[in-house]
Chain A
Amino acid sequence: MKDLAEAALNAAQVKGASYADVRLDEHVTQDIIVKNGQLAAVSDDASEGFGVRVIVDGAWGFAGSARLDKAEVEQVVDRAIRIARASARVRSAPVDLGPPVTSRGHYRTPIERDPFAVPLTEKVDLLLRADAAMGAVKGVTIREGSMEFIRQAKLFASTEGAFIEQELFESGAGIEATATSPDEVQNRSYPNSFGRHQGSSGYEYITALELDRHGGRIAEESVALLTAPQCPSGVKTLILDASQTALQIHESCGHPTELDRVFGMEAAYAGTSFMTPEKLNHLQYGSPKVTITADALTPTGLGTFGWDDEGIPAQRTFLIKNGLFVGYLTSRETASVLGQQSNGTMRADGWNRIPLIRMTNVNLEPGDSSLEQMIAETKDGVYMETNRSWSIDDKRLNFQFGTQLAFEIIDGKRGRMLKNATYAGITPEFWNSCDAVAGRPEWRVWGLANCGKGQPPQVAHVAHGAAPARFQHVKVGILK
């Protein structure tokens, strides 16, 4: 592998690249799905290859291939160089990467139990036990449980002298119960929606979830939702559980602070951002209760690693400090435009893609309240839990979310269960209405393994530390 990397860098320099980097990547993914008491899917997918990124005449070119031999390396470098020269014909300002990056080292996700060494039967048994717990509840029509395990070995080297090897692990699992009636489809999932809860961890992460203990509860909730009253429409106090708070952070803080979006580099696809540079250190993004960091050092976070895909070391930076907008997620190229240095958020979803600015672990720092306290202090509100639908505009201002489960809150007490709960708002108004965030005991890292961005499309695995949070004067019950 090292030989191929050196060959690629040498060839790129000889052929005229002022900068080149190469990433070799070997990816193994195991997926297991149990559905309605049957093992519905087990797959084992392997992918390997390399990608070469070059700058020629101040412009980018990239090519990748699954063939790992020196002849292919030559062809791929030729292709990347030719592509860069074509880019240079229609480029804006020449690419400036700022100071050179010469990181060297090795990183491995800390794990207690290698998920690939755990017998398949043990994994399937756990999912079947959780399935049986859901199946014991009358009225559940669809039961599904899944696990995913990833091992990624990657090597990064650049003409500036960086040389990094990383071995990253992920483990994830989740269950979902669905109940249907002629007019309704109601589902409940544990611990999160989007199929499962995932972290940079070993099999111990799965064991700790205790999936089989939660199957019965979520099944009962899905059936109860069928006959629950509709979430009323109005402007109310809203309390979100930690997982929905995590998605709120993702969509309304994580994405708009990506500096490539701000500069229009994603304008034709994912969109731009309302958090433009003149607002930096001026915009009161949220209330003083709101402090949000990008922290690639968070244990078990899907955005936790040793170095990003430009060789920048993992680090913790502030995006929002006591409500004030103070920082972006950056790359070498975008940071240099602002006279900054990259804070290490460039990641590609495989050897065949270029790195893009991706959230690491974008965390809402814990507050000093608790869910029970927030409820007790609320006169007229709604508590919402576990995401069901999510949508936000291309500048990340106008959002609407729906959750699987909700409860009315009246005079400090949890009332009736509500179905089809939704809420909507405008990002800064919403975060400025945040008057309570629960503390460390309820703070948890939530993995999101479905973050789409880029053309050609890439899917990033990111995470958000979050706790339950409360917001005032929120429009709820969009669905009448």
Chain B
Amino acid sequence: MKSMEVVRLSEEAELKTFTRGLLERSPAQQTEVMVTEWDSALTRFANNGIHQNVAERNVSVRVRVVKDGKTGVASINQLNETAAADVLKRAVAIADLQPRSEVVPMPDPARAKPVEAWSDATAAATPEERADFVETVCAKAGRVGLKAFGAFSTSAGQFAIANSLGVYHHQRSTQATVNSVVMGDAGSGYADRGAIDVRELDKDQLAEEVIDKAQRNQNAQPVEPGVYEVVLEEYAVAEMLEFMSFMGFGALAVQEERSFMRLGEKITGDHVSIWDDGLDRTGIPSSFDFEGVPKQRVALITDGVASGLVYDMQTATRAGRQSTGHGLPAPNTEGPFAVNLFMKPGSAAKADLVRDIKRGIWVTRFWYVRVVHPKASIITGMTREGTFLIENGRITRPVKDLRFTQSILEALNGTLALTASTKLQVSEYLGASRVPAVRLKAFDFTS
């Protein structure tokens, strides 16, 4: 049965031939072809049983042409000669029908450092293996009178990009992620994991964490809103970094004067260093971006000072510099995006973060975070599945979830400690972050 389930992806040689053929056929001055192919599956569970279980095989062929100073983009989800002709024709027709506009330049060829992002085990994961994993979590929760919910996914894919200036890059990748909420009658816990290799996801360890959290988070009582010292677990820290990236790490946000980044100025506490590195194998690496530019490491905040931005071809051209390899697929009006984030760890043990806190709040994760004021880096959201009161250096009791409305920069300005260990958080959208847990001096819970 195993061999049946091995993902079905095209050979790289087929993609190369396909992209080359399309480029040769194009009547435009410049043409770019991007092919993304994936085979993915996801097993979802609720109330200690699987309730949804899905798989898909899909492909995307995206073509950008620049003709007479005009750009057209079209896509199709078929990988054959007829589709190639159709998508090229549509892209050219769009270009022909429009006025001349600013053209986003295509990059010249440059060597991309290969990264290893593939696992045969993940690519070969079967529905039975996913069910076994889920069964373990559900059984362990059931044995202590709790109910497990969650999703376990495995996926494999490949991405190729080529342009008429000679760029060609190809990368295969796999990803396995699992998240779980475990509920009792009066509270719940949360845990998740992500990896390139599915064998790194330890079902017993995941179950132990989420069940322990759920058991400790029963019968939470309200606590007065206000400003508290906090410990944020890695789940919350990663989400905060993602929002920083969304609001301000991209060059376009700075060029449009809507970013909180003030280059060269101190914007957070000394202990805070954040960078983007698509080549770091401890993240979810990728060697080039969606414009075919090799990834560069970019220091974003160094020892509290705003030190750099990520660029794509358009913003780099406007700034008279090179792209850092952070472009998104065309057409893109949102600008470049940092998707391989890292936060420098500290030296603390996680359990010691509460030490010396007289009265504070322990936050497992955030929920429904939204931007309130981008320039001031203010976000709002709720805590969820594990919010605890810290009193006199120890966690004393669970508290009802709280809403926060808080400037991220102000919060990080009060960074008191970071853990030595870090956790990989795979983004719900794109990329991943590797972050420590942190202790912050002040965090504003507004209701």
- Interface residue ranges of A158-189 to B (CB < 8 Å): 178, 180, 183-185
Our pick among A47, A67, A89, A354 for the contact of B131 (Cβ within 8 Å) is A89
- Distance of B41 from chain A, by nearest CB (Å): 7
Whether the Cβ atoms of B331 and A391 lie closer than 8 Å is: no
A394 beta carbon closer than 8 Å to chain B: yes
Whether the Cβ atoms of A400 and B447 lie closer than 8 Å is: yes
Chain A residue at minimal CB-CB distance from B188: A267
B residues near A390, Cβ cutoff 8 Å: 370
A residues near B332, Cβ cutoff 8 Å: 41
Chain B residue at minimal CB-CB distance from A46: B76
- Distance of A431 from chain B, by nearest CB (Å): 17
Whether the Cβ atoms of B76 and A60 lie closer than 8 Å is: no
Whether the Cβ atoms of B54 and A83 lie closer than 8 Å is: yes
**CA–CA, A264 and B370, complex, Å:** 24
- Distance of B185 from chain A, by nearest CB (Å): 13
- Distance of A67 from chain B, by nearest CB (Å): 7
Whether the Cβ atoms of A64 and B55 lie closer than 8 Å is: yes
Chain A, 397-429, contact with B by CB distance < 8 Å: what is the 0/1 string? Answer: 010101000000000000000001010100000
B residues near A82, Cβ cutoff 8 Å: 1, 4-5, 127
Given contacts A42-B73, A121-B97, contact A92 B382 (CB under 8 A): no
Given contacts A47-B77, A267-B149, contact A62 B333 (CB under 8 A): no
Whether the Cβ atoms of B50 and A87 lie closer than 8 Å is: yes
Binding-face segment, B20-28, B300-308, B371-379, B409-417 = B371-379
Whether the Cβ atoms of A90 and B127 lie closer than 8 Å is: no
Whether the Cβ atoms of A389 and B127 lie closer than 8 Å is: no
B361 beta carbon closer than 8 Å to chain A: no
A101 beta carbon closer than 8 Å to chain B: no
A residues near B327, Cβ cutoff 8 Å: none
Whether the Cβ atoms of B380 and A389 lie closer than 8 Å is: yes
Given contacts A400-B380, A400-B405, A479-B373, contact A185 B54 (CB under 8 A): no
Chain B, 36-59, contact with A by CB distance < 8 Å: what is the 0/1 string? Answer: 000011111111111111111111
A455 beta carbon closer than 8 Å to chain B: yes
Whether the Cβ atoms of B54 and A183 lie closer than 8 Å is: no
**CA–CA, A59 and B134, complex, Å:** 15
Chain A, 439-480, contact with B by CB distance < 8 Å: what is the 0/1 string? Answer: 000000000000000011100000000000000000100110
B residues near A43, Cβ cutoff 8 Å: 73-75, 94, 330-331
A residues near B224, Cβ cutoff 8 Å: none
B147 beta carbon closer than 8 Å to chain A: yes
Given contacts A48-B78, A90-B49, A185-B375, contact A121 B333 (CB under 8 A): no
Whether the Cβ atoms of A61 and B53 lie closer than 8 Å is: yes
Chain A, 245-275, contact with B by CB distance < 8 Å: what is the 0/1 string? Answer: 0000000000000000001110111010000
**CA–CA, A61 and B75, complex, Å:** 29
A residues near B220, Cβ cutoff 8 Å: none
**CA–CA, A424 and B373, complex, Å:** 16
**CA–CA, A307 and B370, complex, Å:** 34
Q: What count of chain B residues pass the 8 Å CB interface test?
A: 87
B384 beta carbon closer than 8 Å to chain A: yes
Given contacts A267-B183, A393-B401, contact A456 B72 (CB under 8 A): no
Binding-face segment, B98-106, B163-171, B277-285, B347-355 = B98-106
Chain A, 96-114, contact with B by CB distance < 8 Å: what is the 0/1 string? Answer: 0000000000000000000
Whether the Cβ atoms of A422 and B372 lie closer than 8 Å is: yes
- Distance of A119 from chain B, by nearest CB (Å): 7
B240 beta carbon closer than 8 Å to chain A: no
Chain B, 363-402, contact with A by CB distance < 8 Å: what is the 0/1 string? Answer: 0000111111111101011101000000000000000010
Given contacts A393-B382, A393-B384, A393-B403, contact A91 B55 (CB under 8 A): no
Whether the Cβ atoms of B367 and A393 lie closer than 8 Å is: yes
A residues near B98, Cβ cutoff 8 Å: 39, 42, 120-121, 124
Whether the Cβ atoms of A33 and B331 lie closer than 8 Å is: yes
- Distance of A441 from chain B, by nearest CB (Å): 32
Our pick among A59, A180, A184, A394 for the contact of B50 (Cβ within 8 Å) is A59
Whether the Cβ atoms of B382 and A394 lie closer than 8 Å is: yes
Size class of the A contact interface (CB-based, 8 Å) = 35 or more
- Interface residue ranges of B171-209 to A (CB < 8 Å): 179-181, 183, 188
A residues near B86, Cβ cutoff 8 Å: 46
Our pick among B50, B53, B369 for the contact of A391 (Cβ within 8 Å) is B369
**CA–CA, A308 and B368, complex, Å:** 28
B123 beta carbon closer than 8 Å to chain A: no
A residues near B131, Cβ cutoff 8 Å: 86-87, 89-90
Given contacts A39-B101, A479-B373, contact A391 B380 (CB under 8 A): yes
B256 beta carbon closer than 8 Å to chain A: yes
Whether the Cβ atoms of A268 and B180 lie closer than 8 Å is: yes
B residues near A61, Cβ cutoff 8 Å: 53, 127
B residues near A121, Cβ cutoff 8 Å: 97-98
- Distance of B85 from chain A, by nearest CB (Å): 13
Chain A residue at minimal CB-CB distance from B90: A44
Whether the Cβ atoms of B78 and A66 lie closer than 8 Å is: yes
B236 beta carbon closer than 8 Å to chain A: no
Whether the Cβ atoms of A268 and B150 lie closer than 8 Å is: yes
A residues near B331, Cβ cutoff 8 Å: 31, 33, 40-43
B12 beta carbon closer than 8 Å to chain A: no
B residues near A35, Cβ cutoff 8 Å: 333
B residues near A46, Cβ cutoff 8 Å: 74-77, 86-87, 90
A45 beta carbon closer than 8 Å to chain B: yes
Given contacts A120-B97, A398-B403, contact A264 B368 (CB under 8 A): no
Given contacts A40-B333, A42-B94, contact A60 B367 (CB under 8 A): no
A49 beta carbon closer than 8 Å to chain B: yes
**CA–CA, A199 and B312, complex, Å:** 34
Whether the Cβ atoms of A393 and B77 lie closer than 8 Å is: no
A217 beta carbon closer than 8 Å to chain B: no
Our pick among A64, A263, A389, A475 for the contact of B372 (Cβ within 8 Å) is A389
**CA–CA, A456 and B72, complex, Å:** 30
- Interface residue ranges of B333-361 to A (CB < 8 Å): 333
B15 beta carbon closer than 8 Å to chain A: no
Given contacts A43-B74, A398-B382, contact A455 B99 (CB under 8 A): no
- Distance of A453 from chain B, by nearest CB (Å): 12
Whether the Cβ atoms of B403 and A78 lie closer than 8 Å is: no
B residues near A141, Cβ cutoff 8 Å: 256-257
- Interface residue ranges of B245-303 to A (CB < 8 Å): 256-258
Interface residues of B (CB under 8 A from A): 1, 4-5, 40-59, 71-78, 86-87, 90-91, 94, 97-99, 101-102, 126-128, 130-131, 134-135, 138, 147, 149-151, 153, 179-181, 183, 188, 256-258, 330-333, 367-376, 378, 380-382, 384, 401, 403, 405, 428, 446-447
Please list 10 pairs of residues, one from A and one from B, whose beta carbons are closer than 8 Å in the complex, sorted by A's number: A43-B94, A85-B127, A86-B50, A86-B128, A90-B49, A90-B131, A185-B373, A264-B46, A352-B56, A393-B367
Interface residues of A (CB under 8 A from B): 31, 33, 35, 38-49, 51, 59-67, 76, 78-80, 82-87, 89-92, 119-121, 124, 141-142, 144, 178, 180, 183-185, 263-265, 267-269, 271, 352-354, 388-394, 398, 400, 402, 420, 422, 424, 455-457, 475, 478-479
Top 9 closest pairs, chain A to chain B, by CB: A41-B331, A92-B49, A86-B127, A268-B149, A267-B149, A352-B56, A180-B257, A43-B73, A455-B151
